[in-house]
């Protein structure tokens, strides 16, 4: 119970909000330009495309909800599956991106009646599918656009960002290959590997945690045995739709304010740039990538925006659509979920 109290207390929503707004305010102040909000011309066309941008987040959430039902063999109702996704997103939003919300998500599934082994398998499989999406899509988009998938060379930190992208992608690739081998071919391999690595003196303090993770992978491997091709196709299709819905938010935002200045190639490039941008956010030390997301938005997409002065307000608008809502939706859902999950102990301290 202490873990759920630590990971889900709603007071933590203030930290990412303050970090994100603080970063955006600093960027506006340090690069003040009176034209920063000149793009904001609210017309019926802008209303339509902003509505579509919001709809894309709905598509993303429906796809994730569908995927969690597929991975649990439809043992969760649509409502329960949606609550699991929202609480998972809430936990991820208030935790450093590099940590994520894996542990709380497993706990939530367990409290929804999915046994501990199955809960672990479901969450780790979902993470595995997300990693596979990145592993496949980044090279594919690189073949289409070449070095255009990286931020323009003239941006202040393009060299460092490009290096971080290579390191981030390489890390995800190695991890996913090891995970694939462990899950589908040799479940005990990862336990053997981690046991050896965590014998190194300065890593020994985390050895038990590493062994626990290895044991979870073994359980997941057993759970995945015998799954049909249909199971994997449905799960990966939902993964593809969910990530595409998330990325298309920016495309439709741009359509709302300067559609006539973007070509079809530009829209595909916006999608590709976001994919590489997300690799940076996956290893962010701040809650949900707050501050960092707003900062790198202009580096990655600034050359596709007609006026670079618009980049910071657009970055803030992007986060208002795609990130901040999960902080508040999770905080709204959490009290009711706690009452249902702990019927004999309505513990209000959890949400303080």
Residue 237: pLDDT above 90?
yes
- Confidence at 23, pLDDT banded by 50, 70, 90: low
Q: Count structural domains, the chain.
A: 1
Phi, psi of 125 (to 5 degrees): -65, -40
Query: Sign of the CA dihedral 324, 329, 332, 333?
Result: negative
Model pLDDT, residue 11: 57
Mean pLDDT, range 313-324, rounded to an integer:
87
Task: Say which residue, 268 or 4, is predicted with more confidence.
Answer: 268
Structural domain for 160, as ranges: 2-351
* pLDDT: which is higher, 129 or 92: 129
Average pLDDT over residues 230-252: 95
CA angle 92, 98, 99 (to 5 degrees): 55
Residue 166 has pLDDT above 60, yes or no: yes
Kindly tell me if the per-residue pLDDT of 346 is higher than 50: no
Q: Mean pLDDT of all residues in the chain?
A: 80
**Percent above pLDDT 70 for the chain:** 75
> How does DSSP classify residue 287?
B
Is the model's pLDDT at 349 over the cut of 50?
no
Phi–psi pair at 154, nearest 5 degrees: -80, -10
Tell me the pLDDT band of 130, cut-offs 50, 70 and 90: very high
Phi then psi for residue 43, to 5 deg, are: -115, 175
CA 283 to chain centre: 11
Q: Residue 226: what pLDDT?
A: 81
State how far the Cα of 302 lies from the Cα of 40, in Å rounded to an integer. 17
pLDDT at 351 (0 to 100): 44
Condensed to tens digits (0 to 9), the pLDDT of residues 48-94 reads: 999 999 999 999 999 999 999 999 999 999 999 999 999 988 888 77
- What pLDDT is stored for residue 2 in this prediction? 44
pLDDT for res 18: 65
Q: Is 96 helix (H, G, I), strand (E, B) or coil?
A: strand
User: CA–CA separation, 267 vs 184, rounded Å?
Assistant: 37
Confidence tier at 198 by pLDDT (50, 70, 90): low
100-109, 144-153, 199-208, 322-331: least confident range: 199-208
């Amino acid at each position: 119970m202490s873990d759920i109290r630590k990971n889900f207390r709603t007071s933590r929503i203030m930290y990412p909000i303050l970090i994100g707004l603080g970063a955006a305010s600093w960027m506006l102040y340090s690069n003040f330009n009176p034209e920063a909000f000149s793009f904001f011309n609210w017309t019926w066309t802008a209303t339509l495309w902003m509505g579509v941008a919001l709809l894309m987040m709905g598509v993303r959430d429906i796809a994730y909800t569908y995927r969690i039902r597929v991975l649990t063999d439809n043992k969760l109702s649509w409502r329960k599956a949606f609550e699991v996704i929202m609480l998972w997103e809430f936990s991820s939003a208030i935790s450093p991106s590099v940590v994520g919300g894996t542990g709380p998500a497993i706990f939530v599934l367990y409290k929804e009646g999915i046994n501990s082994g199955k809960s672990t398998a479901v969450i780790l499989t979902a993470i595995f599918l997300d990693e596979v999406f990145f592993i496949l899509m980044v090279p594919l988009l690189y073949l289409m656009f070449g070095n255009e998938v990286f931020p323009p060379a003239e941006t202040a930190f393009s060299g460092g960002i490009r290096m971080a992208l290579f390191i981030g992608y390489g890390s995800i690739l190695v991890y996913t290959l090891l995970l694939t081998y462990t899950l589908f071919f040799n479940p005990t391999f990862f336990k053997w590997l981690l046991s050896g690595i965590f014998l190194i003196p300065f890593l020994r303090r985390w050895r038990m945690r590493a062994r626990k993770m290895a044991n979870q992978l073994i359980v997941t491997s057993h759970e995945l045995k015998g799954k049909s091709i249909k199971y994997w196709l449905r799960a990966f299709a939902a993964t593809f739709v969910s990530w595409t819905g998330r990325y298309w938010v920016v495309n439709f935002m741009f359509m709302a304010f300067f559609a006539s200045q973007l070509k079809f190639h530009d829209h595909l490039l916006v999608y590709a740039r976001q994919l590489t941008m997300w690799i940076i956010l996956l290893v962010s030390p701040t809650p949900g990538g707050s501050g960092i997301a707003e900062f790198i938005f202009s580096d990655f997409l600034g050359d596709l925006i007609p006026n670079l002065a618009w980049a910071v307000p657009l970055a803030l608008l992007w986060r208002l659509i795609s990130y901040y809502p999960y902080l508040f939706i999770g905080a709204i859902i959490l009290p009711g979920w706690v009452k249902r999950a702990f019927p004999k102990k309505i513990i209000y301290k959890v949400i303080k």
